Structure 1
Amino acid sequence: MEKALKAFSDHFSVNVIATDPVLMMNSMRVFPTSTMASLGIRPVYYVSVYPRSVFNREREREALERARRAMEQEQARRDLEMAQTLQRSVDATGGQTLLVDDDLHGADDSQMGLGMLPGDTGKSVRIKIRDKSGKDTLLLVTTSTTVQAIIDNYVSMAGLGDKVTVTLEFDDERLDPGSTIGDTEIEDDDMLTAFWR
């Protein structure tokens, strides 16, 4: 292979050897000391030659791409698990479920669970409630869930007690406790802010 590289360099007036080349054939690394016999008997050999800096950049790019794909697959797996859990809870309660999932925020098992909301029907909507400390609580509600039902469940899950008055805001506007999610412009993955005194 060294002789082939030298001939290539001489023919094209490019000093390939000065680039500390990396040789690849069929996704397999080939070393300059390799002979044609060691590569197997073939009528034609196609060997890709990369300057080492280009080869190293390409390998780094491939590693980053693999890491990105792995993160996307892990996120998709978590999303699927959550969707299955939500669906099971909705199925088990005939569509009358508010699911609180603090798993991503380090909550212990006592802070996670199901709150039953009577009469919930309609399209499911995922929302996030952020409190004044910055802690997020993920909820699955339906378009017929009232704001008051969300407040009551949130007070219970956050352990705030009966004497605390909680209000929810969306886009800096206070939500009417008597309205339903369907009455508002709240959509999947929107964030509400919780205030209490």
Structure 2
Amino acid sequence: MAPERKDKERKLSTEDRILWGRVAKSARPMPGRMADLEAFEAALAAEAENEEKTRAAKAATAPAAVDTQNAQTSAKQPSGQHHPFERPVKRKIAKGRLALEARIDLHGLIQSEAHGMLLDFLLRAHSRGLRHVLVITGKGSSMGSEGALKRAVPLWFSKPEFRFLISSYETAAQHHGGDGALYIRLSRGKGEKL
């Protein structure tokens, strides 16, 4: 008798999710298999949400006493919350006085392709020390489109794999894509000066 496999219990690491995103970019579902792909993506999203809930529960039950050195270290790390751009910064970007250092165009892609490409793009931009980038999602105004990426991308930013890469984001100015694009401010890397 073969030993029972426990593949269902295995959780994907961040690296596995990134790898899946890269594979998904290059693959097209077979006709009639889109439902399977969507179910798999839903399972990945549910798994990430469960991990986040578990972390939050562990943090809530952790002892309240924290030594001052740990408190100082955690104060220097990004909080994972995204704040809106300051008006002067958004104005400078919109007028071209503050450069957008990179851009990615996701419109026309399915969510699994876009997720992997966006994560890869933001990881590379963050590792290069870039600060302001443009993400074009598209407005979803074409016939039969509901603007899936326009709605999904901001939701992805709260997921663990994106959360600490991004400091803030805001809808772009009209000439940069308006409702179909986002200005992203990447968080600073460790040891970067303000």
TM-score bin, normalised by smaller chain: under 0.3
Larger helix proportion, structure 1 or 2?
Answer: 2
TM-score w.r.t. structure 1 length?
A: 0.24
TM-score w.r.t. structure 2 length?
A: 0.24
Larger strand proportion, structure 1 or 2?
Answer: 1
Which of structures 1 and 2 has the larger relative contact order (alpha carbons within 8 angstroms, sep 6+)? 2
Bigger Rg, structure 1 or 2: 1
